[in-house]
Every structure is written in structure tokens, then in C-alpha cells.
Structure 1
Amino acid sequence: MSDVELVWPNKDMALRASGNSSYEWVEPTCNRLKVPLKLERLTSHHGNERPNIVAVGDGLDILEALSGDALIFESGIRLVYIDPPFNTQVNFRQYRDTMKRPMWLSMMRDRLMALRPLLAEDASIWVHLDDAEVHRARSVMDEVFGEGAFVASVVWQKKNTRDSRAAFSENHDTIVVYAPSGPKKWKTSRNLLVKDGADLVNRDNDPRGPWTDAPFTAPGYRSAQQYDIVTPAGNVQRPPRGRSWYATEATYQSLVADERIWFPKGGAGSPRLKLFAHQLRGLVPFTVWGTSDTGTNDDAKRHLMALFPDKEVFDTPKPESLLERIIHIATNPGELVVDIFAGSGTTAAVAHKMRRRWLVAERNADTVFKYLLPRLQNVVDGKDPGGVTGATSWVGGGGFEVVNVSPRLGKLTGPYRPDAIERNLAMSLTKCGKLANAS
């Protein structure tokens, strides 16, 4: 699908999850891959409504195990946001980030390939990385989705602090955005950003609230829109040469009656159209997102520390305000959001608060039970006051289902064994409330 190909060792092989946390190269035709995946529903789901899902297991295994479920994927995935390991060659407290590059590339390629047939026609894929692999990830995404699917590289300022010891004080990540339908078609279905309400002022104490104004003229000559307007100060106004009034005289009189026309200069100026917040056309997103709009890693850490005061939180969590912007641009309420590297659950938490459907997968069972499930249960119960709760007017509700998919390759040991996962889930249910009844 791309004229230029990135080549790496074992590219012709599949990279599958093996055991607790490792991966294994296998031939795509290997008989071991023909063994059916075992999907265990750890909580019950009642009714025919489409469930939100927390899946314990590798993202590729999860997608394959659930791909035939029409209840989940009937309308397709509208948004994929993933924040995978960056392959920085640094180990963090909650996960290792030291894969060999060929394995990292195949890991990304295989999971993106599994997502592709599940996407809606107007879907977009947002991959969050830093400089370690982002340029190679672009090549992989070109191969999977086609070069014409590239939309943008969003630069997110992740911190305000400066590292004086470095050659450059690195303070940004890159979020690569692809849309299989292509940017021209995708932009017709994506949402614009809400215009800043700070520009709105209530200059006449209008009970409908603050407003801004725009000229009551339009380009070109239209005979039906050429008429005299008498201002409150008694001046007679005509459209400027080469222009017409914005609407016909009948519509103008209706707008005057609705107090939608504003005359500046003490009532002597040319008429202006009053526009309230809900009538303003949104803003096309920039490709550089600052901390004032989308938060920082430190904002996200403070949120997690408030939720989990007795636990060590993730080193580089993403703030809810960042996900709120992505989900707003890429989806509408009720549409499906997918994250196969769920981590502490930011994507699911924000999608839930924004009334989207969601499916998230996390391979590390310890992360699921320590962070992901308790966090989402707080969201469902209306007990998470942080993040975008206020901005979304979230007060609680909804629910989710928990499933487990064990890898085909290798054996799970310790807390990753299915029976141990069920015991941990039971403990988590006791602490958080009965998830099965929340859906």
C-alpha cells in the first residue's frame, strides 16, 4: 500500500503474545495460531444493548476473540487511540519499555492490521509516541493504511518544566493521525473545536447570555437584499458597494424583533448580527496543542494520586483533557472508541464521561486490578471529581463488562493465570462494587 517499504528482520513472521509479558515470533501459517482463543466473560451482561468492555489480555488476541461480535462492532470503530510503549529503552515501574526494534515494529504492525477491518468508514487512528520510534511508526502506518490516509502529526506539549542538563529540553510528544478514508473525506465528519467563549460579551444585558457580532452583509449583489435600514439613531444605511445585506428585508425584520441585530456607535453604526455561543462555527484544530488546553503529564499524575493516594501512580499518564479533545474531534456520542494499550484507563474514563461506547484492552493484569477497574468504577459511581468531570457535567451512570483472553502461546503463571485473574476480579468487585450489575 506504500511505494516505500520499511524492512526489518522477521517482518514476514507474526509477533504473538506469549506467557505473561513476552512475545514470540511465529510463522503466519503455524498450526499453533489455529487453536481457538478462549474468551472468558468474568462479569455478566444483561440485555441487548452494546456493552462497554474492559478486556484483560493482549490487544491482538482481544481483537481476534471479539471480532465476530456484531453487538460490539456492528457500526464499526469510530476512533482508535493508542498510547503504546514508546520503546525508549527505559523500564518504568508499571511496565518494561525495552523491546528490540524489529519486535516493536511487528507488534505495532500486527495490531494495526487487526484493527483495520473493524473500522467504520469515517474512522480515525491516533497513535501517541515520542521521538524514539515515531518516524518508523509513520512508515508502518503508511503500509497498513496507505500513504493517502495520513492526516496530521499533532505536537502535544506534555510539560512546562525545563531540563537544564540536556542538549535540548524535550517537552513534547507526537500523536500521528490517520484516516483510511483520507483527510478530505474525513474532515467532513470530524468535529471542530468549540470557539473560546472568552470572546463573548453581553453588551446589552441580553437574557440569553453573552454574544459576539458579525457584519450584516454578504459579498455580491442580490436585488432582494438591497434595501434601506434605518438605525436607532435615525441614520439610513445601505449595503456597501459590491455587497448586499446578509438576509432579505423580511428576515431582517424578524431578527430585529428577536433582538438579534446590534447597532454600534450608540445606535448610529451599520447593523451587526448577534451570535450566541451555540451559533458560532467551531475552529479547525491546530497541529500544536499547548498545556493550557490539553494539560500535562503532571496534571494526569495529580489526578491519579487523588484517586489512588496509597499507590505508586504511572510515570507518564495522559491527562483527561487531552483525550477529551481527541474524542471530541473524532467521535459523536454513542460511537465506539477503542484503546488496546489501556494502562490506567484514561481513554475509557473520558469516553465514558463523554457518553461514548468503549472497548479497552490491557495485558498487565496487575494494572487492570490496581488501577483500571477501580478508576472506571469510580467513574460509573460518580465518585471521580477530577479530569473532565466538570466539563462534561458527568454525575455517574452506565457500566461495563470484564472479559479475559489468554494467549495461544506459552503459559500464564502467577497472578496472570485465569483462575488468579478471577480471584483478583472478585476482590476488586468487593472493593469497588458489583461491576456485573452496573451494566
Structure 2
Amino acid sequence: MQNLQNELIELLKHEDNLVVDNQLNKNKIIEAALKVEPFLISLLIKNETFKKHFFQEVENVLVFDKINFQRFVNNKSFLPDSYTAFKNKIGLAINDDTVDNFIKTKNDVVLVWPHKDCVLEGGQTKEDQKRNEIFWNETLAPDSVDRLLDAKAFTNFKRYDKKGEHKITEFKGDENLILKGNNLLVLSSLLKTHRGKIKLIYIDPPYNTGGDTFMYNDSFNHSSWLTFMKNRLLIAKELLHPEGSIFIQIDDFEDAYLKVLMDELFKPENFRNKITWKRRGGSANPKNRLNNVVDYILWYSKNENFTFHTPFTIDDPNTKKYIKERFTNVDENGRKFMKSPLQSPNPRPNLMYDYKGFKTPKNGWSISEEKMKEWDAEGKLWFPDDKEKNINRKIYLDEYSGQPVSSLWTDISVINPMSKERGEFEGGQKPEALLHRIIEMVTDEGDYVLDFFVGSGTTCATAHKMNRKYIGVEQLNYIEPIPVQRIIDVTKGDEAGISKKVNWQGGGTFVYAELLEYNQYFVNKIQEAKTKENIIAIWSEMQDKAFISYQFDKDIFNNSLEAFKTASIETMQHYLIEILDKNQLYVNFSEIEDKSFNVSEEDKALNYSFYNIK
């Protein structure tokens, strides 16, 4: 925010009375903006930063956003109220700008909540770790948001196959990737390499129940979760292929809010289904509610035209019952079949024809005469004795794919954790069979699948066995011992999950890499410190190497260091983390040549290769 204000001061300081004593004359500037004065518009539009943030292209014409510019100029720096337009309100409103106009009778609505107009980084390295998050307002602090979301550098590159770990020297651009780091920052980095390429995004995010891994922020826990999701989903949408789909697994705690948010971000017409997955039996006995045995999966496509392969199943109880009741006929070769009507339920004047003495049904046939002859030649027609009756199609049981899958999935169960058939990594929160169905529905071999809450690695393991490309992202420290190791086992030909179903024999490769830390290195050390002496030693290192908030005065703090030592370890840790510049937690790719970051020549070369920059 301060950097952008300084840039505006530099831009306007030679204009009459717009800058006084090196401070913005806000009233004068806002008056000129509201009048759309040509001299001001000319100055702003020639500056790339202000052009990006305060002009929108409408039918090849740049239009000045004077409302957002007014908010920016009027911002009271560093006051909490300046960071969100929505304050302490949550509910349905007519639009984002009229936050006091809550819904009454209008049809077009959006969900508003505290900090909706902000970017929440959501940093976490341990499951039990909480921290107070920074909310960067998209209008009031655009330079901070830009810096936060700038493509990051990676390090610790490794390539894995069934023979183990190998050194990587360059990227071809089609690698399977497992990336460690804050998923917001990884996603924004992937925009540089995979924008519009991802055919399927599947995520099983934290459900924000208080008992899961969503440990972010403070009293706005519910609102923080919505901001957390919105930030990531906006980038995810840009990563999606035009014919791509996104599936989000959720429970009933945030389900309704997520649905409204997804309608806003992806548009209601691109909502495909709310899938209900029966994932457990009824053994639990909650005290004051019915036992919940399902999760929900919200499915949206990026556009109305999308790739879809209708799935069928013969394993669920309903289909087995259907087979038993319908496949009651046997032909001369002993093959079971069922009869399926060929008359059209609706008038089909273009399909009115007699066939072998059988008259056209009232509404016509449901297939062409050419198809009728084809099925007849293949022995797939059943002719009744009475010519007044209708011809039927024979559907043979040995060629039957099953019933089309509905939005109620009762046939995919989480395998008992004590069962020998589970395999070391099968199951967890979801079985490979669940991901197999989703991947099969909307992708083809070679398509990209993305999961940015990779967890135990089920999505990537399943995609690997199905010959899809994949990217998995996880920021928690279990990424190498669990999902990475799981996919190493997949390359070796593991027998868990869908391996038998797809005849998996092993093979393939993937690349592992981590976001290159800078201030995050100090965050980790502070969190791991056990004594006050450790913390003071870290502070000594921070003074020489860390990026510290420009609002913080090191000299004043050092003069009070003895008083600082009297605080509790927890208070000392919290304070040192607070003074770190949160926009320097990781090294930006654009700054890897800066000697301050001490990036190795090997990492530089691999980052240039990853981002395909010669």
C-alpha cells in the first residue's frame, strides 16, 4: 500500500496542488478523478501499475474505475477498518459494492462476508499450528497483493521413478509434479506454466469444523475460510482448460456457503451436480442430531461446453437388482439378454418407416432405418410373433456396461482400515475408486489433473495409474513421508486401490520441488525454538538477513531487549513472527538474480527451465 502511494506521489508531484509537503492532496485528487479530468487520466493510464489496477478493458476500450481509485486514495493506512469493505456483516447482498443493501426481492445475489475483498495467504506448516493471518485488500493494497501472488522460485528439485531418486537437469514441460508450499502461492506460480491446461481439478479442502486441519486466523474463522477458498478458486478457474471441470468435496458444515460462492465464481449455469457420496455406515451415535454418513461433491464446469464421459456401474446393489429383474431372457446360444423398446416416446416424423412387415409405432422409431438394419445383422433385434407388436432391441448381459451413474453414490465404500485388501496407502479420507470415477468422467489419457490439497496423495496416485498428467500441492510437512512415498510405490507397481482394476504394472516418473523460502525460514526456526536463548539467537540472525517490516524500528527494540526477555516464550515467538515482512516469506522468481537471496546457480537454471525462460 505504502509503495503504491509513494508511486502516486512521484507521478503527481509536478501537478498543481495535487501533492503538498510530499503528501497526497486527497480532496483535490478525488475531485479530479470523479470529474475524470483528462490530465489525471492521461498520467494514470501511462503508468503500467495504475493502468493495471484502475482501468478495465470494455470492448477494446480502457475504462477508468474511479470508485476503486477513490477508495485507494482515501485509505487510512494501517487501520483495521481500512482492510475490508464488509466489516462484520455476513449474508446475501445485491452486489459487492452496496454492502448495506442486503437481499430482499432482487434475483441477482452474491454472498458477502468480512474480508471478502482481501487476499488471505493462509500459511501453515504443521497440522496443529495457528497464526493470525494477514489480509491484503485488493483495492487498498494492490502492490502488496501483486507481490504476494508473483510467481515464486522453487528449490530441492528431485525426479523419481521406480528405480528411486534422480537429479533433474531440465524440464520438458509435461512432467507430473508434486510441489511443497503454500498452495495459494504455488497456484499463482502455476499460472505462468499451466494457465488453461488443467482438465480436472479435484480438491478435498479443510472443512472448517474446528476438528480438522483448517487452523487459520481468529474470531472470523468462518469468514476466513470463505476468503481462503475464494482466493484459491479464482486462480484455479484460470488454470482450468476451457472444457475443464472442478470437483470440491465438502461436508454439510460449509456446503451451502460454498455452493453460493461457486455460483458467483463459476456462474450458476456451469453447475453440473451436487454429488452425494455415502462414505460410511451408520455406526456412530451422535447425541443431538442424526448420524451423518455422507459427504458432498460440488461439480462445476468452466463453461457450458465441457468434456463428459457418462460413467456406468454394475457393482452397486440397485444395478445388481436391475440385472436380476430385467435380464430374464436367454437366446439359442445361452446368452442372457433383456428387451429394450425401440418405439420413440415423442413424435419423430423423420423416423417413420415399416420394417420387415412391422408397422411404424405411433410416434415413430427411436433409431434410424440404417441402425435398425445394422442391429438386425448383428442379431441384436427381438421380433415378436404378432406383427402388430413392436420390435425390441436385445441388450446382452455380457455386453452390458451397467446403469448410468446417478448423483447418489452408494457403491464406493472406504475400505475397513483393518482390512488386508486396503494396502499401505489405500483409503485415508477417500478411496482410489472415488477418484477413478471422477477422473474417468471428465478426462482422457494425457490430460492434466490438479489437486492442491493433496493430503495422502490419492488423486495423484489414481491419475498416475490412469495415464493422466497430474500436479499435487501440499504445504504440511508430511508431504515427503506420505504422498511422495505413496507415488514412489505407485511407480514400482503397488497393488493397492484400483491397481487390479486397471492392470497397473508400475512405471512413470514425477518431479518433486519446494517453494524457495526466505522469511519463512525464520518463521520455521521461531516456531521450533524451545528456549528464550534460542529466540534471542534467531533475532540476531534476523537483523542481518531477514526482511523486517518497514514500520518496525530495530534500534528502539534493541534498547528494550532486556524487557523483551521477560516475556513468555510464546509471546516472544509471536512478536518476532509479527515483525517479519509477510510478502518476503518466499523468494519471487523475478528476484532470483538478487544476491541478497543467495540462490544457487543450479536452482537458477532449473527455475528458468521450469518457467521456460531461456
TM range (shorter): 0.7 to 0.9
Q: In structure 2, give the amino acid aligned to 1:203.
A: V
Take 2:211 and 2:351, find their aligned partners in 1: how far apart are those partners?
A: 70
Q: In structure 2, give the amino acid aligned to 1:154.
A: I
Give the deviation of 1:151 after TM superposition: 2.6
Take 2:272 and 2:360, find their aligned partners in 1: how far apart are those partners?
A: 41
Structure 2 equivalent of residue 37 of structure 1:
152
State whether structure 2 residue 315 is matched by structure 1 residue 204.
no
1:226 is aligned, of 314, 331, 354, to 354
Structure 2 equivalent of residue 375 of structure 1:
486
Give the deviation of 1:358 after TM superposition: 1.0
- After superposition, the Cα gap between the structure-2 partners of 1:247 and 1:170, relative to the gap in structure 1 and judged at 3 Å, is closer
2:175 is aligned, of 51, 56, 67, to 51
CA contact (8 A) 1:303 1:386 kept: no
Bigger RCO (CA 8 Å, 6+ sep): 1
- After superposition, the Cα gap between the structure-2 partners of 1:228 and 1:5, relative to the gap in structure 1 and judged at 3 Å, is closer
Q: Per-residue displacement from partner, 1:118-138 (whole Å, max 9, x unpaired)?
A: 111122211111122222222
Q: In structure 2, give the amino acid aligned to 1:171.
A: V
Take 2:263 and 2:366, find their aligned partners in 1: how far apart are those partners?
A: 49
Give the deviation of 1:47 after TM superposition: 7.2
2:258 is aligned, of 137, 146, 149, to 137
State whether structure 2 residue 120 is matched by structure 1 residue 15.
yes
Structure 1 equivalent of residue 441 of structure 2:
329
CA contact (8 A) 2:200 2:244 kept: yes
* Structure 1: segments with no counterpart, 5+ residues: 230-236, 419-439
1:86 is aligned, of 177, 195, 207, to 207
**Deviates further, 191-200 or 265-274:** 265-274
Take 1:388 and 1:283, find their aligned partners in 2: how far apart are those partners?
A: 20
Take 1:55 and 1:332, find their aligned partners in 2: how far apart are those partners?
A: 23
Take 1:58 and 1:304, find their aligned partners in 2: how far apart are those partners?
A: 34
Q: In structure 2, give the amino acid aligned to 1:332.
A: D
- After superposition, the Cα gap between the structure-2 partners of 1:46 and 1:190, relative to the gap in structure 1 and judged at 3 Å, is same
- After superposition, the Cα gap between the structure-2 partners of 1:35 and 1:371, relative to the gap in structure 1 and judged at 3 Å, is same
Structure 1 equivalent of residue 291 of structure 2:
169
2:188 is aligned, of 42, 64, 85, to 64
Take 2:188 and 2:228, find their aligned partners in 1: how far apart are those partners?
A: 15
Q: Per-residue displacement from partner, 1:392-433 (whole Å, max 9, x unpaired)?
A: 232222221112114676335369999xxxxxxxxxxxxxxx
Take 1:253 and 1:9, find their aligned partners in 2: how far apart are those partners?
A: 65
What aligned pairs does 1:116-265 form with structure 2 within 5 A after superposition? 116-166=237-287, 167-182=289-304, 185-186=305-306, 189-194=307-312, 196=314, 199=323, 203-204=330-331, 211-217=337-343, 220=348, 225-229=353-357, 237-240=358-361, 243=364, 248=369, 255-263=375-383
**Deviates further, 368-377 or 191-200:** 191-200
1:114 is aligned, of 226, 232, 235, to 235
State whether structure 2 residue 472 is matched by structure 1 residue 364.
no
Q: In structure 1, give the amino acid aligned to 2:154.
A: L
CA contact (8 A) 1:380 1:399 kept: yes
Q: Per-residue displacement from partner, 1:318-350 (whole Å, max 9, x unpaired)?
A: 111221222222222221111100000111111
Q: In structure 2, give the amino acid aligned to 1:141.
A: M
- After superposition, the Cα gap between the structure-2 partners of 1:408 and 1:146, relative to the gap in structure 1 and judged at 3 Å, is farther
Take 1:225 and 1:300, find their aligned partners in 2: how far apart are those partners?
A: 59
Q: Per-residue displacement from partner, 1:53-87 (whole Å, max 9, x unpaired)?
A: 11111211111222222xx55x6211111111111
Q: Per-residue displacement from partner, 1:108-150 (whole Å, max 9, x unpaired)?
A: 1111111111111122211111122222222332332233333
CA RMSD of aligned residues (A): 3.9
Take 2:499 and 2:513, find their aligned partners in 1: how far apart are those partners?
A: 26
Structure 2 equivalent of residue 390 of structure 1:
500
CA contact (8 A) 1:192 1:283 kept: no
CA contact (8 A) 2:122 2:228 kept: no
- After superposition, the Cα gap between the structure-2 partners of 1:408 and 1:24, relative to the gap in structure 1 and judged at 3 Å, is farther
State whether structure 2 residue 221 is matched by structure 1 residue 104.
no
Structure 2 equivalent of residue 307 of structure 1:
424
Take 1:242 and 1:105, find their aligned partners in 2: how far apart are those partners?
A: 52
Q: In structure 2, give the amino acid aligned to 1:306.
A: G
Secondary structure at the residue paired with 1:392? coil
Q: Per-residue displacement from partner, 1:189-228 (whole Å, max 9, x unpaired)?
A: 3121225385367833759x76544335556567983243
Q: Larger Rg: 1 or 2?
A: 2
Take 2:348 and 2:182, find their aligned partners in 1: how far apart are those partners?
A: 60
Take 1:245 and 1:220, find their aligned partners in 2: how far apart are those partners?
A: 8
Give the deviation of 1:365 after TM superposition: 2.5
Secondary structure at the residue paired with 1:6? strand
Structure 2 equivalent of residue 287 of structure 1:
407
CA contact (8 A) 2:242 2:303 kept: yes
Give the deviation of 1:391 after TM superposition: 2.3
Q: In structure 2, give the amino acid aligned to 1:10.
A: H
CA contact (8 A) 1:13 1:28 kept: no
Q: Per-residue displacement from partner, 1:261-285 (whole Å, max 9, x unpaired)?
A: 3346799986433345798798554
- After superposition, the Cα gap between the structure-2 partners of 1:89 and 1:238, relative to the gap in structure 1 and judged at 3 Å, is same
2:524 is aligned, of 400, 413, 431, to 413
Take 1:304 and 1:245, find their aligned partners in 2: how far apart are those partners?
A: 45
Take 1:304 and 1:258, find their aligned partners in 2: how far apart are those partners?
A: 41
CA contact (8 A) 1:379 1:396 kept: yes
* Structure 2: segments with no counterpart, 5+ residues: 1-94, 97-107, 160-167, 529-584, 587-614
Take 1:201 and 1:335, find their aligned partners in 2: how far apart are those partners?
A: 41
Take 1:378 and 1:255, find their aligned partners in 2: how far apart are those partners?
A: 46
Take 1:172 and 1:79, find their aligned partners in 2: how far apart are those partners?
A: 23
TM-score calculated relative to the size of structure 1: 0.75
Take 2:115 and 2:366, find their aligned partners in 1: how far apart are those partners?
A: 67
**Deviates further, 26-35 or 316-325:** 26-35
What aligned pairs does 1:331-346 form with structure 2 within 5 A after superposition? 331-346=443-458
**Deviates further, 220-229 or 24-33:** 220-229
CA contact (8 A) 1:86 1:133 kept: yes
CA contact (8 A) 2:423 2:497 kept: no
CA contact (8 A) 1:19 1:407 kept: no
Structure 1 equivalent of residue 47 of structure 2:
none
* Aligned residue-pair number: 389
**Deviates further, 26-35 or 334-343:** 26-35
Q: In structure 1, give the amino acid aligned to 2:412.
A: T
- After superposition, the Cα gap between the structure-2 partners of 1:362 and 1:217, relative to the gap in structure 1 and judged at 3 Å, is same
Take 1:393 and 1:371, find their aligned partners in 2: how far apart are those partners?
A: 23
1:25 is aligned, of 135, 142, 147, to 135
Take 1:88 and 1:245, find their aligned partners in 2: how far apart are those partners?
A: 51
Q: Per-residue displacement from partner, 1:232-263 (whole Å, max 9, x unpaired)?
A: xxxxx544455459554x87565444333334
The share of aligned pairs that are identical, in percent, is: 25
- After superposition, the Cα gap between the structure-2 partners of 1:48 and 1:280, relative to the gap in structure 1 and judged at 3 Å, is farther
